[in-house]
A and B are shown apart, each in its own frame.
Chain A
Amino acid sequence: MNELEKLFHRIVQRVNINLRELNFDVSPFAIELIPPDQMSKFYAFYGITPDHPPDLHFEHSAIAGSYFLGKSRVRNSLLYKSDIRGDELKHKDQTISFKNLTLTLTKDEIIDIEDSALIKTLVHNYSHDPETPEKFFIKDTLAMDYSNIHGSPSDGCFLAPYATVDLTTMRDCVIGAYSYIQAVEISHLNVDPGTIWVNSPGKFNFFYKYPLNLLDRYVSLSPDKVPWGILIDFIEERKIEFQRVFDFVNLEAIESIPKTASLDRYAVVLPNIKIADNVLVSQRAYIENSTLGRGANAQENCFIINSLLEEYNITAHGAKIIETELGSGGFVGFNSFLCGKKGSRLKIGAGCVIMPHTIIDIEQALEIPANQLVWGLVRNKDELAKNSIALEKMSNIEPSFSQGEMHFEGNGALFVKAFKERIHHILEVNGAFFADGKNTGHAQKNQKLSLNTIQPFQFGPMEGMYPNIRILP
């Protein structure tokens, strides 16, 4: 057993120890999760910007194909094609509030990854845990393909493929495939696949669970197989396009991009695209034959194909939009899969909120009116009626409401307000409202980004591991 295999074995054992009370063994899922030969095949890289000077620390780790921005530390861990984006971490002297308490940070926040394996995982945002304001920790955790750890410190957890944990501190939890959890704090929770749970204690509680027999078609996981389903195949079919952008050190710049917009060097862009002012296209985004209106925002791992996105809309991390027209101010949440067909397009009205982890997969044309909230599985008009509600009607709900497999309890107005405020915040930080040199965000700041690459050991017992490296400005 070489050092890489020893490291992975040790991580798996540590995760299992944490999950023993749930009687959950990650070992079967971990087998063949990382082909060792891939770990020496890909370089890792990091970004340098005036706003985010490098402060990186790699120790006894393998980080193939992974990207780092901002302040991060990786120890005894294995990262494969993962994005560790520390561009929204909290800063020294920043004051944070929690209920009636305020706290001033004494140092910059760090993403601290220890004894963990992250596979094609996105780590972003800042820790929302007031108990550890300066440390966004990820320890004893195994995260599988296309999972998102978004502002969510994790200790002893397993995230199945396409799982997202958002603004939630988690301890000793299993998050099933394609589940989305936003619940402030969870512990010792085993979440079934396809669970959508948004809980703000004292304010609202939203719950939906996909029928498993229907979800299986899109993403599925069992101990004896690698993950499979339409969502996995969809990405596999487009893998070759990403190889091209990662293989070349210098790619030709696309001249039609406005100066106020940002197209990441590691995004895939295929003809014919139109990109308006203040657009942000993040790395590992895939845009093909599509138009992105002013201030539109295409986040990491998203796919936009044969689609028209009007102004100020958001395609969140991992969302996929195919043969779709999205009206202005629309929001498509994490890992959603909106799949119109040629000649049977999907039209989504202005101001709609497509909740994280929504699947709209239609065979006949479908139009969603403006200002609707949509969730779950929608394959036709009947399912749209069951899994959507006008935002105005939602705002009037109190104390509870159920529709189809969706359950809601609390104040609907607060729920809608929370979404709307978050959408505005995302547009703001991404520079969608930039004008006359004011309101700069990632779209403008990322233009001052340069990249460096680092390489693993290629031979010997340390093959695939990276040397211990400390990178400072």
Chain B
Amino acid sequence: MEHYLVKDLMVPISEYAVVGVGTPLIEAIRVLEKAQEIYTVSKYQHRAILVLDENGHIVGKISQLRALKALEPEFDFNDTIAELQKFKFSEAYIAQLQNESRSQRKIITERALREAANKKVEEFMQAPSPGEYVSDDCSLDTAILQLTAGPHLSLLVTRNRQIVGILRIADVFAAVFHEMMTLKP
């Protein structure tokens, strides 16, 4: 186990569901569904979609959480909330404003679903952040520390500055705890 490297556990990019910048959410979900359908012949279960730019570089990721966020109505006062934080209003006051706004808007309506379906992926994708990259020849120890220290549920695996795969927390979890179970008492 201690000799495991990131590349031993990562999902290769070629196995992943990908869409281009400019794709509507509904198309992205269809791509994901197709990928799920071939789950039976592939060993990887797909829960996220990668977004590529025109040069084929990964510029973002859409998880289930991000897709649901696309359904949330856009609050008119997002800028106001940022201002209220800047001008020392309490989190309780800001949360109260957000709740009041949410209570006035329903998420599951035909109109809201139609609007969300047409949103472009770049509007709600998660762009890669500096702490999200890990080299494919790193030890699993390093990757575990990176996952536990940060907010990410997966890491982008690089080789020679190119993204070559995704290291998912579920695969790391399975590998580590499988090893634990095999320990002799």
Q: Which residues of A contact B (CB under 8 A)?
A: 183, 189, 192, 195, 197, 199, 201, 205, 207, 209, 399-400, 402, 405, 407, 409
Contacts and interface: CB of A to CB of B under 8 A. Distances in A.
B93 A199 contact: no
B88 to A, nearest CB: 6
Most buried by A among B84, B87, B93: B87
Given A192-B83, A207-B83, 9 more contacts: A183-B88, A205-B88, A207-B84, A399-B93, A400-B93, A405-B80, A407-B84, A409-B89, A409-B90
B127 interface: no
Q: How large is the interface on B (under 10, 10 to 19, 20 to 34, 35 or more residues)?
A: 10 to 19
A205 B87 contact: yes
Contact of B88 (A199, A209, A400, A405): A199
B42 interface: no
B93 A197 contact: no
Given A201-B88, A409-B90, A402 B97 contact: yes
B118 interface: no
Decide if the interface of chain A is mainly helix, strand, loop or mixed. Answer: strand
Contact of B87 (A199, A400, A405): A199
A207 B97 contact: no
B45 interface: no
A326 to B, nearest CB: 30
Contacts of B96: 400
Contacts of B86: 189
A200 to B, nearest CB: 11
Decide if the interface of chain B is mainly helix, strand, loop or mixed. Answer: helix
Contacts of B80: 209, 405
Interface of B: 80, 83-84, 86-90, 93, 96-97
Contacts of B88: 183, 199, 201, 205
A294 to B, nearest CB: 39
A204 to B, nearest CB: 11
A199 B96 CA distance: 20
Contacts of A189: 86
Contact of A209 (B83, B89, B93): B83
A205 B83 contact: no
Nearest to A197: B87
A207 B87 CA distance: 8
B89 A205 contact: yes
A98 B88 CA distance: 22
8 contacts: A183-B88, A201-B88, A205-B89, A207-B83, A207-B84, A399-B93, A402-B97, A409-B93
A207 B93 CA distance: 13
Nearest to B96: A400
A175 to B, nearest CB: 13
A282 to B, nearest CB: 31
A79 B93 CA distance: 43
A388 B51 CA distance: 49
A306 B90 CA distance: 44
Contacts of B87: 195, 197, 199, 205, 207
A201 B86 CA distance: 14
Contacts of A402: 97
A171 to B, nearest CB: 16
A399 B90 CA distance: 11
